[in-house]
Structure 1
Amino acid sequence: LGNLFWVLAYDTEYAMVDRDDDLKIGMKTSAITLGRFDVAAIVAFYLLLVLIWGVALAPLALGVPFWLAMGLVLAQVAWHFTLIRHRTREGCFTAFTSNHWIGFTLFAGIVASYALR
């Protein structure tokens, strides 16, 4: 479920890049559907990703590396907000293309937690 919100976040960032073109051809995207709430929704989607992963993985007691990684993901979410808040094509595209760092950070936190047990 957390991954679903992650996909919604980065897909909406990408949809914001093409919003003007999509409106011209009548395409319905998440960015168009969310309208002026697109940025808030993206941040909420990312926060739901972090919350769901945190709740799901907390019982595994992964320790400090995992929680540090979660903190780094939150920092990346804040950075994404700064990129998309003005809804520029460049900012939204940069947020979309750098999204893999969120996944890498989560992965690295889990791997480091198991490696340091």
Structure 2
Amino acid sequence: MDEGQPDGRFIPVARLTALDARGRAVVQVGDTRVALVRVDGQLHALEDTCPHRGGSLHEGDLEGTLLHCPLHAWPFDVRTGLCPWRPDAKVRIYDVLVRGGEILIAASDRVPGR
């Protein structure tokens, strides 16, 4: 997890204690549900809604860095937001910062490939 000082791009979204036993949580940022997922000690943030059928990604199985949609198992890499099966399928990712037990994400999200 990144430690450091936030700049104006980062907004607080949760505390580390909000993560469940699997290292996951969902937060609301404006109109967007964002999944927080810990993989090998690194915290990642990505859009929680699968573009295929709208499944909540945080509920899916995690295999390495691939988080699978619980509805039809489409995988999304938590680091990039890309689906290795379908190059046109992607979800937004957010930069993450952890400071004093507080999780902050970048206020301006990015879409892979743009």
Q: Give the TM-score normalised by structure 2.
A: 0.28
Greater helix fraction, Structure 1 or Structure 2:
1
Q: Highest Rg: 1 or 2?
A: 1
Q: Give the TM-score normalised by structure 1.
A: 0.27
